[in-house]
């Protein structure tokens, strides 16, 4: 098949976090099983722009990537040049997959698809969850949704990566036709694990340091536990919020028990995850959370909030602990994980093979290709989970 991806930003714009990696891995995996993938994207790189050629496509790991200049430097990502290209070519592809929402670029592309009689696959990438819909600019989002968004969304085929995301999207349109396929995750090379002996119970966090991630909840929960621990925070964020967390750590008397490990990527990311006793992510919302799979792929058990997209997977596969965001319950689940040494050892032994079976790259890529072939007559997914 000849497949078109349209996304506001693409690698190497890793400033936008996990979705950049997920979209690129999907495109590359589809190429590896014999499909042709073209990406239309902008030079967006936060407040700056990527230094990429605009007059010709760039081949990146087998994917044909066409960059277009954007005329706004914010999250709207307006690019008339990309819209013009989509208008001219969108019907030339066997499938169109658009990623993200709540920016004028993607809404414009969705309108173009509607006008051209093309039904695209839409991956909201967490942009239609309650937290995003109601947290910032909620009045503008509600007005935009009722004015044009609702109509445009009804003309798409919904793709989600977790049950949490599916349920969020159903609140906007309970007749949406769609399906669930996991993100493709870049897993580390397998190697024999050396048993971890950290002395104090070591809890790891690896992600953007952002209010959405609920680190403040984790810190407050740890303040009153009755066991020795070290919390290692790997990530970076806006300095103002980092300062807030440092002040909270000091106020809770935890300065000697929290380590700032800095940003981790590539092999060092997996080394970090493998060397902690428990990975914790008490987020207010995550439509998927690739880092949960990355942690389990090296055998490290996880503690996640019920708002993390993979929480149901973690619970069903018995690969860790799931909690609400109540500080007392988070503290209780942390204590439970600390005391369950044999359970953590079991997860150390069993998690990696489970992840490699469930997140087999070739199988997932084939599932996506099958979805593209059947967009117009794909069955309605179960109504709620």
Helix, strand and coil in the chain, % to nearest 5: 45, 20, 40
- Of all residues in the chain, the percent with pLDDT exceeding 90 is 70
**Could you tell me if 300 and 321 are in contact, meaning their C-beta atoms sit under 8 angstroms apart?**
no
Q: Are residues 288 and 369 in the same domain?
A: no
Q: Are residues 366 and 352 in the same domain?
A: no
Q: Are residues 227 and 168 in the same domain?
A: no
Rounded mean pLDDT, 19-41: 95
Instruction: Tell me the per-residue pLDDT of 84-112, one tens digit each, with 9 for 90 and over.
Output: 999 999 999 999 999 988 788 999 999 99
CATH of the domain at 351: 3.40.50.2000
Instruction: Tell me the per-residue pLDDT of 121-168, one tens digit each, with 9 for 90 and over.
Output: 999 887 676 666 666 655 555 566 555 567 788 899 999 998 888 888
Is residue 65 in a domain? yes
Q: Are residues 258 and 275 in the same domain?
A: yes
Q: Are residues 163 and 236 in the same domain?
A: no
HEC states along 131-192?
HHHHHCCHHHHHHHHHHHHHHHHCCCEEEECCHHHHHHHHCCCCCCCEEECCCCCCCCCCCC
CA distances to 11, 67, 109, 141 from 58, rounded to whole Å, are 12, 8, 21, 34
Q: Are residues 276 and 373 in the same domain?
A: no
Is residue 309 in a domain? yes
- Looking at residue 19, its pLDDT comes to 83
Q: Are residues 47 and 107 in the same domain?
A: yes
Q: Are residues 156 and 246 in the same domain?
A: no
Q: Are residues 160 and 214 in the same domain?
A: no
Q: Are residues 354 and 365 in the same domain?
A: no
Is residue 212 in a domain? yes
Q: Are residues 9 and 82 in the same domain?
A: yes
Number of folded domains that form the chain:
2
Is residue 210 in a domain? yes
- Could you tell me the pTM of the whole model? 0.84
- Residue 290 structural domain: 201-358
Is residue 385 in a domain? no
Is residue 189 in a domain? no
- Looking at residue 383, its pLDDT comes to 39
Q: Are residues 319 and 373 in the same domain?
A: no
Is residue 382 in a domain? no
The C-alpha atoms of residue 276 and residue 198 are separated, in whole angstroms, by: 8
Is residue 90 in a domain? yes
């Amino acid at each position: 098949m000849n497949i078109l991806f349209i996304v506001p930003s693409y690698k190497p714009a890793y400033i936008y976090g996990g979705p950049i990696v997920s979209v690129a891995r999907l495109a590359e995996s589809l190429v590896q099983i014999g499909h042709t993938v073209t990406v239309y994207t902008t030079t967006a790189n936060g407040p700056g722009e990527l230094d990429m050629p605009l007059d010709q496509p760039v081949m990146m790991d087998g994917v044909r990537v066409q960059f277009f200049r954007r005329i706004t430097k914010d999250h709207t990502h307006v690019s008339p040049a990309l819209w013009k290209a989509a208008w001219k070519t969108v019907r030339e592809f066997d499938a169109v997959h658009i990623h993200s929402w709540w920016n004028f670029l993607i809404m414009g592309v969705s309108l173009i698809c509607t006008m051209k009689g093309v039904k695209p696959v839409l991956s909201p990438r967490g942009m239609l969850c309650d937290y995003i819909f109601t947290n910032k600019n909620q009045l503008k989002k509600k007005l935009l949704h009722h004015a044009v968004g609702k109509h445009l969304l009804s003309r798409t085929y919904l793709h989600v990566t977790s049950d949490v995301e599916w349920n969020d999207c159903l609140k906007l349109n309970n007749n949406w036709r769609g399906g669930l396929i996991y993100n493709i995750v870049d897993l580390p090379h397998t190697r024999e694990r050396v048993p971890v002996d950290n002395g104090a119970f070591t809890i790891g966090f690896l992600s953007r340091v952002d209010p959405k991630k609920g680190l403040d909840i984790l810190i407050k929960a740890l303040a009153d536990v009755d066991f020795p621990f070290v919390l290692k925070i790997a990530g970076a964020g806006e300095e103002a919020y980092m300062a807030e967390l440092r002040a909270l750590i000091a106020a809770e008397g935890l300065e000697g028990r929290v380590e700032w490990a800095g940003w981790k990527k590539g092999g060092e990311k997996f080394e970090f995850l493998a060397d902690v006793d428990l990975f914790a992510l008490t987020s207010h919302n995550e439509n998927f959370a690739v880092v949960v799979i990355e942690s389990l792929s090296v055998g490290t058990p996880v503690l996640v909030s019920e708002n993390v997209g993979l929480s149901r997977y973690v619970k069903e596969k018995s690969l860790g602990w799931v909690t609400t965001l109540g500080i007392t319950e988070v503290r209780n689940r942390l204590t439970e994980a600390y005391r369950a040494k044999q359970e953590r050892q079991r997860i150390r032994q069993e998690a990696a093979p489970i992840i490699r079976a469930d997140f087999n790259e070739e199988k997932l890529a084939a599932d996506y290709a099958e979805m593209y072939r059947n967009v117009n007559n794909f069955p309605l997914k179960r109504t709620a989970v």
